[in-house]
Amino acid sequence: MVMKQGYFITGTDTNAGKTWATIALMRYFRRQGKTVAGMKPVAAGYSFPCPASERRDDRLKNEDALLIQENASLPIDYDLINPYAYQLPVSPHIAGIDNPVKMAKIVESFNVLKELAEIVLVEGAGGWFTPLNDSEDISDLAKALALPVILVVAIRLGCINHAKLTWQAIQNAGIPCAGWIAVCVDPDMLNRDENIRTIETALNAPLLGVLPYLASADFDLLAGRLAF
């Protein structure tokens, strides 16, 4: 089996809702009968030591990456999904000072996943310009994987500016944007619908769905709010 389509999921910032959007997309495509795999190449924070029975060296596993592994259509080795997991919740280039991200390793894992599933979703870390190492950032990763981007916009105060800036940066990088997803992260957001409509007008890309605020995840509900 060979990948027919892949997407790179980026966000307007840290905690924009990228993982929830990624899982919702995985379930959306699975409902359509597609085989789906996901990847979170770099994760900083929410990473913990493996159980002793699974441990190799000081290997960590990340909570978000485990969710992605759980929602794949087929069993996939964790190391393919998350080559770099760091314990500290800081920028990857700082968290990984003793084990810096190597782009070639991520591309190698991605190329294996491409042979396993029809749809492959790759979730970035932080925002579009989050540094991965001393010389490369998330935008470089998207370029290396040559995937169209889906932009996740956290709908909260300042979201219009963040969405427009990130959209412009994606355009400047020459990478196609398949669309954007609004994730309502603030239950008390004023004029939420007006903000979403303003962003929809500003971005020359389709709105793929509005994910409502939820205190806890319901990925089937969220998948039902998506439409390509």
Which domain range does residue 54 map to?
A: 5-223
What whole-number distance in Å separates Cα of residue 83 and Cα of residue 19?
Answer: 17
pLDDT at site 63: 94
Q: Which residue has the higher pLDDT, 50 or 105?
A: 105
CB atoms within 10 A of CB 175: 19
In a domain, 158, yes or no: yes
> Does residue 58 register a pLDDT over 80?
no
What whole-number distance in Å separates Cα of residue 122 and Cα of residue 24?
Answer: 13
> Does residue 135 register a pLDDT over 60?
yes
> Does residue 177 register a pLDDT over 60?
yes
Q: Binning pLDDT at 50, 70 and 90, where does residue 45 land?
A: confident
Q: Which residue has the higher pLDDT, 54 or 130?
A: 130
pLDDT at site 53: 41
Q: Which of 40, 61, 105, 143 is catalytic?
A: 40
> Does residue 41 register a pLDDT over 60?
yes
Kindly report the pTM of this predicted structure: 0.94
In a domain, 228, yes or no: no
pLDDT at site 1: 67
Does the active-site annotation cover 114? Answer: no
Q: Binning pLDDT at 50, 70 and 90, where does residue 50 land?
A: low
Q: Are 219 and 71 in contact (CB under 8 A)?
A: yes
Q: What is the CATH number of the domain that holds 135?
A: 3.40.50.300
pLDDT at site 3: 85
> Does residue 52 register a pLDDT over 50?
no
What order do you get walking across the sheet with 5-11 strand by strand?
36-39, 119-127, 5-11, 149-154, 177-183, 207-211
pLDDT single digits (tens) 181-196: 999 999 999 999 999 9
In a domain, 90, yes or no: yes
What average pLDDT does the chain have? 94
pLDDT at site 55: 40
Q: CA of 11: how far to CAs of 123, 151, 164, 166, 183, in Å?
A: 9, 6, 12, 8, 10
pLDDT single digits (tens) 99-122: 999 999 999 999 999 999 999 999
pLDDT single digits (tens) 7-28: 999 999 999 999 999 999 999 9
- Into how many domains does the chain fold? 1
Q: CA of 47: how far to CAs of 86, 169, 204, in Å?
A: 6, 29, 36
